[in-house]
């Protein structure tokens, strides 16, 4: 009788899970749908789905085991933070706030401070200058690179541009629209090559084209980092940079500023030798 009672309970739970879609897999898909609605990139959404379903396996693993996976010593500092961010976002979405509090006690590796490659303003302008023997495709890519750099927008925001009364807007992260500033000369040339303000090729193709023109060490994100660094070094108000980049926190903006080692040494010697 007792065994039958347990069997009946398990059947009921199984039925409820099927009827109301309470499985871990569906919880993951609901969270990913939420990320898509917030206009986060497909790459980010796919990465979150892969982490939650494969690496952390939130459908089958316990909360304690998932935390152990996150802090596993074989994971690098950046990967640990990626796993933590994905799991934390997932828990918050499903209102598992007690479990979110547990994550505060995880010991995550510190990220080493490195000098990431940034392009100086003059160097980028030279590399994107039209040459006599440039094909139309090369010219289109060059003006696009210059526009991305001078506006600091995300590559995923490129196809969300809207022009209203000479004011330019993008649809960014968090499903938010924001106005961006631009240089009129660059924008006019950009519009000549992209009349509908849309990039017709895949973003993967754009990444490849950027490397061809700027160098293998550079990516679309390098343009945002270079923009932030140039603006900060030129004395721009950090809040202006923050608004242009679409950050909700000034701390995120400061993380984008990546002065070169030679620049930092120059500033160091300038002030120390006074």
Crossing angle for the helix pair 77-93 and 63-71, nearest 10 degrees?
A: 150
Residue 60 CB-density burial (10 A; 0-12 exposed, 13-18 middle, 19+ buried): exposed
Given 154, 182, 194, 199, which residue is catalytic? 154
Given 79, 169, 221, 263, which residue is catalytic? 221
Instruction: Say how far apart CA 64 and CA 249 lie, in whole Å.
Output: 31
Instruction: Say how far apart CA 83 and CA 158 lie, in whole Å.
Output: 27
DSSP track, 231-258:
HHHTT--HHHHHHHHT-S-HHHHHHH--
256 catalytically annotated: yes
94 catalytically annotated: no
Given 31, 87, 199, 256, which residue is catalytic? 256
224 catalytically annotated: yes
Token pair 């660059």 in the structure block, residue: 186
For residue 24, give the nearest of 72, 56, 47 by alpha carbon. 56
- Evaluate the CA torsion angle 83, 84, 85, 90 in order and state its sign: positive
178 catalytically annotated: no
225 catalytically annotated: no
**Whole-angstrom Cα Rg for the chain:** 24
Given 140, 146, 173, 225, which residue is catalytic? 173
Instruction: List the structure tokens of 242.
Output: 């923050």
Given 140, 146, 230, 247, which residue is catalytic? 247
Given 99, 224, 225, 230, which residue is catalytic? 224
**Which positions are catalytic?**
154, 173, 221, 224, 247, 256
């Amino acid at each position: 009788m007792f065994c039958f009672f347990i069997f009946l309970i398990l059947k009921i739970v199984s039925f409820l899970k099927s009827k109301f879609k309470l499985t871990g897999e569906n919880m993951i898909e609901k969270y990913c749908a939420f990320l898509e609605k917030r206009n986060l990139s497909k790459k980010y959404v796919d990465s979150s789905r892969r982490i939650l379903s494969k690496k952390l396996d939130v459908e089958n693993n316990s909360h304690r085991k998932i935390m152990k996976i996150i802090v596993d010593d074989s994971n690098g500092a950046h990967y640990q933070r990626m796993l933590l961010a994905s799991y934390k976002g997932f828990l918050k979405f499903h209102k598992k706030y007690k479990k979110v509090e547990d994550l505060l006690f995880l010991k995550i590796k510190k990220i080493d401070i490195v000098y990431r490659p940034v392009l100086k303003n003059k160097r980028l302008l030279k590399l994107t200058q039209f040459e006599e023997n440039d094909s139309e495709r090369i010219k289109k890519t060059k003006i696009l690179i210059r526009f991305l750099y001078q506006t600091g927008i995300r590559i995923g925001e490129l196809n969300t541009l809207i022009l209203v009364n000479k004011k330019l807007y993008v649809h960014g992260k968090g499903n938010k629209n924001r106005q961006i500033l631009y240089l009129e000369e660059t924008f006019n040339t950009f519009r000549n090559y992209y009349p509908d303000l849309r990039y017709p090729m895949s973003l993967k193709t754009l990444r490849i084209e950027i490397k061809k023109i700027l160098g293998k060490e550079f990516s679309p994100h390098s343009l945002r980092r270079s923009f932030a660094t140039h603006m900060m070094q030129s004395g721009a108000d950090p809040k202006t940079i923050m608004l242009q980049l679409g950050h909700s926190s000034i701390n995120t903006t400061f993380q984008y500023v990546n002065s070169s080692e030679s620049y930092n040494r120059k500033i160091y010697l300038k002030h120390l030798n006074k």
